[in-house]
Amino acid sequence: MRFFVLGAGSWGTVFAQLLKENGEEVILWARRKEIADLINNSHTSPYIDEMEISVRATNNLDELKSTDILVIAIPVQHVREHLSRLSKKPSMVLNLSKGLEIKTGKRISEIVKEILGCPYAVLSGPSHAEEVARKLPTAVTLAGDNARELQRRISNEYFRVYTCEDVVGVEIAGALKNVIAIAAGILDGLGGWDNAKAALETRGIYEIARFGRHFGADQKTFMGLAGIGDLMVTCNSKYSRNRRFGELIAKGFDPQKLLESSHQVVEGAFTVKAVVKKADELEIDMPISEEVYRVIYGGKSPFQSMKDLMKRSLKDEFWAD
């Protein structure tokens, strides 16, 4: 059985290389032919400079075989379009992408079910590609079909895969932490407010868990690697695109111009649209996400946003909602 990795950005490339070094058969699909050629000819990629790439790349989607495991590693807003273009159905999907589709509010598992209807698993957790490329110790979680077999095939001495049973919780945690990380970046950009950042991360995971509860997620998941683990790395790492995006906004850069000029995906800036829409429909209190939305799309001052979060009505820390 072969892994067909859809997406030759930083994570797709590093994950494909990890699988290859684990002895798996792998092929890496790049959207642009010049990237596939660069990987094949010079064993490098503009998306990741920490490693030599020996995986074969293609930009032909028709190379997908029906016996392949399709690994999704492309921006969430483009997943539906690419799955719809497949001429064959893979044996299963392993998803690495983190976000919600704006126009439907759906998770990747729901999109896969709608279009392919094949077995599905999701891998998530604190795993910046730059560190995995350097073989630095990393632990993640995997939920869904064939979890035990995938755990065994993906784990190695620097990449430790746990399993859990909560696909919904793992997907929601991975998607929403990117929104909170933008707020964390804003705090960094405003001057590095340590107390506020600790409070934001704590209230952030509570906000994510509250959203997850409406979709049947297991609350334990938010205390695990896909939840608090990934939230911590994304809110604090120098590698996080979401955190850096927030930091630049707070330093005065225009959010729309930043998004237009970035060649890397800032998933939280898109997922926040789906989150506020769902929160509004289902009456879920999502104060941090709503402020992030107002800063990115409403031109609100980041400083005013943080002040407004502090001025909300006083309440118990763990209120029933």
The answer to whether the annotation marks 177 as part of a ligand binding site is yes
| x/- letters, 118..157, toward ligand NAI (CB under 6 A) | ---------xxx----------------------------
Element containing residue 174 per DSSP (H, E): helix 167-190
Q: Which long-range contacts (CB under 8 A, 24 or more apart) does 33-40 make?
A: 33/59, 35/8, 35/59, 36/8, 39/8, 39/13
Give the residue ranges of DSSP H helices in 230-301: 230-236, 241-250, 255-261, 267-282, 287-297
Q: Which of 74, 122, 164, 183 binds ligand NAI (CB under 6 A)?
A: 74
Question: Binding residue for ligand NAI (CB under 6 A) from 20, 80, 98, 177?
Answer: 98
Footprint of ligand 13P (CB under 6 A) = 98, 126-128, 178, 181, 230, 233-234, 239-242, 267
Q: Does residue 319 have a known ligand-binding role?
A: no
**Taking CA 66 as the corner, what is the angle to CA 64 and CA 72, rounded to the nearest 5 degrees?**
55
**Residue 80 or 98 with smaller CB distance to ligand 13P:** 98
Check: CB of residue 171 under 8 Å from CB of residue 108. Answer: yes
Q: Determine whether the annotation assigns residue 265 to a binding site.
A: yes
Candidate list 38, 55, 76, 93; residue touching ligand NAI; CB under 6 A: 76
274 annotated as ligand-binding: no
- 287-to-130, 203, 309 alpha-carbon distances in Å: 32, 10, 7
135 carries an active-site annotation:
no
Known binding residue 241? Answer is: yes
| Catalytic choice (33, 88, 113, 177) | 177
Number of residues that bind ligand NAI (CB under 6 A): 23
User: Judged by CB under 6 A, does residue 7 bind ligand NAI?
Assistant: yes
Using the CB atoms, write b or e for 273-295: b if 16+ within 10 Å: bbbbbbbeeeebebebbbbbbbb
| Sheet (strand 92-95) strand order | 56-58, 25-29, 2-6, 69-72, 92-95, 120-124, 138-144, 159-164
* C-alpha dihedral, 255 to 100 to 123 to 162, nearest 10°: 100
96 binds, among ligand 13P, ligand NAI, none (CB under 5 to 8 A by kind): ligand NAI
209: partner contacted, choices ligand NAI, ligand 13P, none (Cβ within 5-8 A by kind) = none
Query: Using CA atoms, how far apart are residues 19 and 6, in angstroms rounded to an integer?
Result: 14
Cβ of residue 185: shortest distance to ligand 13P, in angstroms?
A: 9
Distance separating alpha carbons of residues 224 and 214, to the nearest angstrom = 19
Q: Is 29 known as a binding-site position?
A: no
Structure tokens of 156? 């190695």
Query: Could you tell which of ligand NAI, ligand 13P, none binds residue 126, using a CB distance below 5 to 8 A set by kind?
Result: ligand 13P
260 labelled as ligand-binding? no
Which of the listed partners (ligand NAI, ligand 13P, none) does 181 bind, with a CB threshold of 5 to 8 Å by partner kind?
Answer: ligand 13P
Give 160's strand partners.
139
Annotated binding site for sn-glycerol 3-phosphate: 98, 125, 127, 177, 230, 240-242
Feature table: binding site: 7-12, 31-32, 47, 98, 125, 127, 129, 177, 230, 240-242, 265, 267
Which residues would be at the binding site for ligand NAI (CB under 6 A)?
Answer: 7-12, 31, 47, 73-76, 78, 96-99, 127-129, 264-265, 267
Q: Tell me which residues are annotated as active site.
A: 177
